[in-house]
């Protein structure tokens, strides 16, 4: 099984290269903990998706030590010469098309998912026998919010068999102790135990040609648009509606942690220090 890590985001809201910003007691970054948990769950290869302009920093500060722990490589997410903004997470995943021929999962580099998630998705990937079957690890919305601003989450709608039938991309925040969706300057209450997507998918390689069709259509209709992106959750939702993919729900009660906003960093540093103190992770993480 392969772990595919999307690490090419610009980090515009955060204000820097949050993918390689230390949060551990010995200089570890979030991706270190994801890989540590994935190895324990049985993953044997990791592929990173990065931008060319961060290659030097990425290798010096992170990749060169990870390749000593697991079979590791990286690919570049290419853009367009006339456009500064990346083309989106579907394009990122397709960057790895020629490197993955086995079951794999996709995660964000700047999200701390917790060990339970990796063990559950690993079991799915080992047990799954169907090319059109995929899975999404879902978190309780209240376990994925930032105290310092809005976050983007895919609200999950399931059918009677607990397969996902729709992913509703939403902007969510806390307001006066309540969880709300922000929509056109209005606030719509939503239950904190609602299942949401945080870009943690389990796939077979059969997903690549399906996504490639959608991505090529996106590029063909792009014109000179500087901002629109081709987003993996939206495109997976399209494939679900088309009946091309069956998406199972993998639930976890772990608390997601991330650095969407700069003030999030100290919060995650404190929580990682507590997990080290409680013996969940060693320090240093890598011997």
Least confident of 17-21, 86-90, 101-105, 170-174: 17-21
Domain definitions of the chain by residue range: 2-277
Q: What is the CATH number of domain 2-277?
A: 3.90.550.10
Q: What is the pLDDT of residue 120?
A: 96
Q: By percentage, how much of the chain surpasses pLDDT 90?
A: 56
* Total residues found in the chain within this entry: 287
3-state secondary structure labels for all residues of the chain: CEEEEECCCCCCCCCCCHHHCCCCCCCCCHHHHHHHHHHHHCCCEEEEEECHHHHHHHHHHHHHHHCCCCEEEEEECCCCCCCCCCCCHHHHHHCCHHHCCCCEEEEECCEECCHHHHHHHHHHHHHCCCCCEEEEEEEEHHHCCCCCCCEEEEEEEECCCCEEEEEEEEEEEEECCEEEEEECCEEEECCCCCEEEEEEEEECCCHHHHHHHHHHHHHHCCCCCCCCCCCHHHHHHHHHHCCCCEEEEEEECCCCEECCCCCHHHHHHHHHHHHHHCCCCCCCCCC
- 14 pLDDT exceeds 60? no
Q: What is the pLDDT of residue 20?
A: 66
pTM: 0.91
- 10 pLDDT exceeds 50? no
Q: What is the pLDDT of residue 80?
A: 87
**Residues 201-225: tens digit of each pLDDT:** 999 999 999 999 999 999 999 988 9
């Amino acid at each position: 099984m392969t772990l595919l890590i999307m690490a090419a985001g610009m980090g515009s809201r955060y204000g820097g290269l949050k993918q390689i910003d230390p949060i551990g007691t010995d200089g570890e970054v979030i991706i270190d903990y994801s890989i540590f948990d994935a190895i324990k769950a049985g993953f044997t290869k990791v592929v990173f998706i990065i931008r060319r302009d961060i290659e030097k920093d990425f290798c010096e500060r992170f990749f060169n030590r990870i390749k000593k722990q697991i079979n590791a490589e990286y690919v570049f997410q290419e853009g367009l010469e006339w456009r500064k903004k990346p083309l989106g997470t579907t394009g990122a995943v397709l960057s790895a098309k020629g490197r993955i021929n086995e079951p794999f999962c996709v995660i964000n580099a700047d999200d701390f998912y917790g060990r339970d998630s990796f063990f559950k998705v690993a079991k799915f990937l080992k047990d799954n026998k169907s090319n059109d079957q995929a899975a999404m690890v879902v978190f309780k919305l209240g376990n994925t919010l930032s105290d310092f601003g809005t976050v983007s989450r895919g609200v999950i709608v399931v059918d009677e068999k607990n397969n996902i039938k729709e992913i509703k991309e939403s902007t969510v925040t806390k307001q006066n102790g309540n969880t709300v969706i922000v929509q056109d300057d209005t606030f719509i209450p939503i239950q904190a135990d609602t299942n949401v997507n945080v870009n943690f998918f389990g796939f077979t390689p059969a997903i690549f040609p399906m996504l490639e069709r959608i991505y090529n259509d996106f590029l063909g209709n792009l014109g000179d648009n500087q901002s629109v992106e081709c987003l993996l959750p939206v495109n997976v939702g399209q494939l679900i509606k088309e009946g091309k993919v069956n998406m199972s729900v993998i639930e976890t009660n772990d608390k997601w942690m991330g650095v969407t906003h700069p003030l999030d960093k100290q919060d995650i540093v404190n929580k990682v220090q507590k997990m080290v103190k409680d013996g969940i992770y060693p320090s240093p993480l890598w011997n």
